[in-house]
Amino acid sequence: MDFIRPYLIVLLFALSANLYSQTPSFNFQKLGSEDGLNNANIFNIEQHQNGLMYFTTQNGIYYYDGYSFNKLDIDSLKSNALINVSIKNNDELYLSLREDGLANFNLKTKEFTFDPKLRIKENNADNIVLTDDYAYLLTSEIKIVIVDLKNGKIIPDDLKKKDIMNRPFCIYKTKNGGVLIGRSDGIYDATNGKQIRLEVLKNNTIHSITQTKEGKLVVGTSSKIFIIQNNKIESEIKPVYETKNNTFQLSGERPIGNIIADEYGRIWFTSYPHENLYLLENNRVYDVFEALDIQPALINCIYKDENQNIWIGTYNDGVYYIHNPFFNSLSFSFNNKNLNIHQVFLSNNLLVAATSNGLYGLNLSDGKTKILSKPDEIFLEPVSSITEFDGIFYYAKRNQMNMIQSMIFDSKNNYIFKPVIARQYYPINKDESVVADWDNANILLCNLDATKTLDTLISFPDYRISINAFLKKDNLLYIGTSNGLYVYDFKSKRNKNLVRNELNFNINDVAIINNKLYAAHEAGITDVYDGKLIQQVGKFRLNTVKKIKQYNDQIWLATLDGIYVCDKNLVPLKTLNKSNGLLSNSINDITFNDQTVSIATARGVSTAEFKDIIRFNSTLKPVTLNTISSNGSVYGAGKSEYKFTASQENISINFFSPLFNKPNKQFFKWRIDGSDWKYFNNPTFDVTLTGGSHLIEISASADNISWSENTLVHIEKEQKLTEKQSIYWLITLGSLSLILLISFVWIRRVKIKARKRLKDEQQVNLLKHQAMNSLLSPHFIFNSLTSIQNYINTNKGLQASEYLAKFSRLIRMIIEKAAQSDISLHDELSRLTYYLELEKERFKNKFDYVINIDDNIKTHEIQIPNMIIQPFVENCIIHGILPKQEHGELIISFKTKGNRKFLITIEDNGIGLIKASEHAKTGHKSLGTSTINNILEINSKLSGKKQKVTMIDKSTLDENTNGTLITIELEL
């Protein structure tokens, strides 16, 4: 009997472990007066074909582009006359006006006119459906008015005449153009103007109707939801509500209203008293408002947009927007705090999450969660990894209490989970495993379940080194640590640290993909075999890569900015982040099975089928022109061609590009007459025109990968007199070019003679140059040490340690290059990136930065003067960005101009030079920037190549902009 005892213990633990229902989680926003919506009573919500959302409120109509609300200006509209709005076409709306019937409102002319056929006295319709032949005007629970549009006659409601209690509750236009009306005694087909009752659900009160993606009817009755196909009931669902209804109904029923079915199999609805939004998924009902911590509010309407997102219009609480993606997202919480998910395992319907406090198993089919390793009430019990070997799942934990293995079942299999006391666990064969212990920085060779130590492979002298990843290939064990990448050779029993610049990082993951060994770390990824540091994929700067995974021919990078799905050459194909429906941009792990991907984030787990990810297209709709203005004149959208006079040179173009998912950062580009694209970040740009015909193209992107179709703007501008006399300008330019050529030859000869004179001075100048370089390092060290001191003074020991580690790497690079007059652009970029990351952390993300490098620049080949960029960047941060209240942005660009010139531009959106000088002390002058001017001056003498720097306050160029533009021009 003794051999049975372990299995009885496992079974007992499996039966006694806690089971509870897991609630789906969504990203949501509340929209109200702070966004420009100045009325909280929302009657109706609809989406225009251009993507804009239209909201009917008590005091008018608002449209929303994802950034702000704007109110339609409707002349002569009586106060409180508006009941509802329906979008007729691209240019017109139908307005349901109290006592007056329906009016057409033209979005271009801003005028509304009455259609005589639809001018109905005593109109109070709050729901409008129109077909080619009929108009249906529903006053919910009171009356239905059907108008024959051919002759303007109203078709009498004979059902109401026969039975005054037979009330119409809802109306729905089906996908095939039919019209269904839900009444007190069933569903009526009113497609041809006459109401004919269907046999299905006969004598049931119908409160709401919608359709699934497949065309099945979803019907809400007094207490149930019915799925109907081909006029037959396919399924019947009586929602079971976990929260009690505080409003008493004599019948005990809870009528289902405002029902919507999305294409992911979810059904959204309200039920009496319509103060909460409910979700029916996998035959379970969830209180969405309660899950998202939204207070109950009387719901007037719900709407599903073209991207399946859910909009809720309330009686007095504005609008709620629920991002409804193809991802199924779940949050795990303990003591009302969301747990960080370190790793996930996925098999069939079972999902297992290794969290920052405990191990959890989740049955995706019913939402039931089981605790596999209990969380600690006092101290966190992190589970750092899950590893499957020979049918058993080993999970690494810290606490030696509760070492009983656990079991969980799904529809097909049972799974056994064994705890291992380790920071990291890695099985290498059926008898042995490699373990990183918790207490000391040791890597041990153990038996399979890590209960017995066989050998100590590596014992690090610094106990603070953390072990993050293992990978065994042949006889080599690769170890990713906080101090770089180590390799242990099982044959020689020796280890070494691969000390190389491209590996001098905190290594988070190690993987072999396409016969290449990759290390993922805080600065991107490193191709270990080729010694190549990759800090950017496509146009995206990599921000701390946590995991690198391969699925089929795609490489998936898990970063702090979301997931980059790349091809085998690391060219980005898609981005997945919070704006796509993930609960967080901080991605810790990615797991795949045959059909599904599961993503572990800092706030929960998101799963999706691969077919949905492949089908997902982030391409936006073409932008919609809003206004075009010049010289104070404003022209509305909708024209095929715009004509301007000769004096109208500067044109400002404003457009809409709706995007509702937060963060809704978009990318825009425009070009004129087929020239190079110009990129910008807000839906307004200016263009200077010459005389003639012009074609302007505008495009938008949500991910900087897929771009919308171009929106075209045709412009005809009258020519100036000087533009017509182009021949005279050509003669003048030709003469000037000849004079410049002669001057160039003469000056060049003078320079040759001057170089002989400077030869004796070169040695002295070189010494001065090196001395000035040494002044820069102490300047930066002083500022950085002050930052570390601040962390220590505020008891932020961990941040101080991390900051000091990064700072030490940067100092080493500065010291190694200090004696050099010139430095390669590649080394300068690495050093600059370290510096910017330190400053960004020191000032608590006060600013973002972007480094742009032209594709034709070979960073290893270009040499630039040492330490000429950092002092300017420091001044931009300290004197430009920090004094302003808003978030700052710093853009550093490197590009070539012709064959011999190299331009470095440093641009910020801070307070600018003028205001900075007002804040500075009298007589103060930056030592770093003055030294750089001397360096460039000496370099010009030494090499005979022109080197200069210019600094401009951007407000002197455009009074509507702020900041500083610094240009360093080097002659190669």
Q: What was the pLDDT predicted at 161? A: 86
Rounded distance between C-alpha atoms, residue 576 and residue 581, angstroms: 8
pLDDT at 822 over 90: no
Q: What was the pLDDT predicted at 640? A: 77
Q: What was the pLDDT predicted at 21? A: 60
pLDDT at 245 over 90: no
Locate the DSSP E strands across 538-623.
Answer: 540-541, 545-551, 554-559, 562-566, 572-576, 587-592, 596-601, 605-609
Q: What was the pLDDT predicted at 921? A: 56
Count the neighbouring beta carbons within 10 Å of the beta carbon of residue 726.
10
* Segment 701-712 mean pLDDT: 93
**For the purposes of burial, counting CB atoms within 10 Å of the CB of 355, is it exposed (0-12), middle (13-18) or buried (19 or more)?**
buried
User: Quick one: pLDDT band at residue 803, thresholds 50, 70, 90?
Assistant: confident
Q: What was the pLDDT predicted at 778? A: 61
Q: What was the pLDDT predicted at 189? A: 96
User: Quick one: pLDDT band at residue 760, thresholds 50, 70, 90?
Assistant: very low
User: Which of 173, 153, 147 is CA-nearest to residue 86?
Assistant: 173
Strand order in the sheet with 667-672: 642-644, 711-717, 692-701, 667-672, 678-680
User: Quick one: pLDDT band at residue 744, thresholds 50, 70, 90?
Assistant: confident
Q: Which of 256-265, 580-589, 600-609, 814-823 has the lowest mean pLDDT?
A: 814-823
* Segment 535-553 mean pLDDT: 94
Q: What was the pLDDT predicted at 928? A: 52
Rounded distance between C-alpha atoms, residue 201 and residue 230, angstroms: 13
Rounded distance between C-alpha atoms, residue 658 and residue 66, angstroms: 6
Q: What is the pLDDT of residues 621-667, one digit of tens each?
A: 999 999 899 988 888 877 778 999 888 889 999 999 999 988 778 99
DSSP per residue, 446-483 = EETTSSSEEEEEEE-S-TT--EEEEEEETTEEEEEETT
Q: What is the pLDDT of residues 125-180, one digit of tens each?
A: 989 999 999 999 999 889 999 999 999 899 999 998 888 899 999 999 999 999 99
User: Quick one: pLDDT band at residue 771, thresholds 50, 70, 90?
Assistant: very low
List all residues 6 or more positions away from 18 whose beta carbon is below 8 Å from its beta carbon: 370, 371
Rounded distance between C-alpha atoms, residue 479 and residue 469, angstroms: 6
Packing angle, helices 825-842 and 762-793, rounded to 10: 30
Q: What was the pLDDT predicted at 917? A: 82
pLDDT at 358 over 80: yes
As given in the structure block, the two tokens for residue 267 are 């059904």
pTM of the entire structure? Answer: 0.71
* Segment 16-45 mean pLDDT: 82
Residues 724, 557 contacting (CB under 8 angstroms) = no
* Segment 524-541 mean pLDDT: 95
* Segment 31-57 mean pLDDT: 92
User: For residue 925, which amino acid is it?
Assistant: K
User: Quick one: pLDDT band at residue 18, thresholds 50, 70, 90?
Assistant: low
Q: How many Cα neighbours within 13 Å face the side chain of 303?
A: 23
User: Which of 612, 615, 618, 639 is CA-nearest to residue 628?
Assistant: 639
pLDDT at 775 over 50: no
Rounded distance between C-alpha atoms, residue 323 and residue 815, angstroms: 50
| Residue 24 per-residue DSSP state | B
**For the purposes of burial, counting CB atoms within 10 Å of the CB of 551, is it exposed (0-12), middle (13-18) or buried (19 or more)?**
middle
User: Which of 622, 596, 625, 623 is CA-nearest to residue 608?
Assistant: 596
Q: Which helix H or strand E contains 931, and what residues bound it?
A: helix 927-943
Three-state SS annotation for 680-716: ECCCEEEEECCCEEEEEEEEEECCCCCCCCCEEEEEE
Q: What was the pLDDT predicted at 9? A: 38
Rounded distance between C-alpha atoms, residue 968 and residue 869, angstroms: 9
Q: What is the CA radius of gyration of the chain?
A: 34
Distances (CA, A) of 458 to 46, 485, 632, 679: 64, 13, 74, 51
Distance of CA 759 to the CA centre of its chain: 57
Q: What was the pLDDT predicted at 727? A: 61
pLDDT at 791 over 90: no
- Classified as helix, coil or strand, 688 is strand
Q: What is the pLDDT of residues 478-516, one digit of tens each?
A: 999 999 999 999 999 999 999 899 999 999 999 999 999
User: Quick one: pLDDT band at residue 434, thresholds 50, 70, 90?
Assistant: very high
| Residue 356 per-residue DSSP state | T
Q: Percent of the chain beyond pLDDT 90?
A: 50
User: Quick one: pLDDT band at residue 754, thresholds 50, 70, 90?
Assistant: low
Q: Which of 342-351, 524-533, 561-570, 574-583 has the lowest mean pLDDT?
A: 342-351
Residues 685, 664 contacting (CB under 8 angstroms) = no
| Residue 709 per-residue DSSP state | P
Residue with the larger pLDDT of the pair 745 and 758: 745
* Segment 263-278 mean pLDDT: 93
Distances (CA, A) of 642 to 525, 638, 648: 50, 10, 12
| Mean pLDDT, the chain, integer | 86
Most confident option among 301-305, 860-864, 866-870: 301-305
Helices H / strands E in the chain, number of each:
12, 77
* Segment 777-789 mean pLDDT: 69
Q: What is the pLDDT of residues 710-733, one digit of tens each?
A: 999 999 988 876 666 666 667 778
pLDDT at 287 over 60: yes
List all residues 6 or more positions away from 552 whose beta carbon is below 8 Å from its beta carbon: none
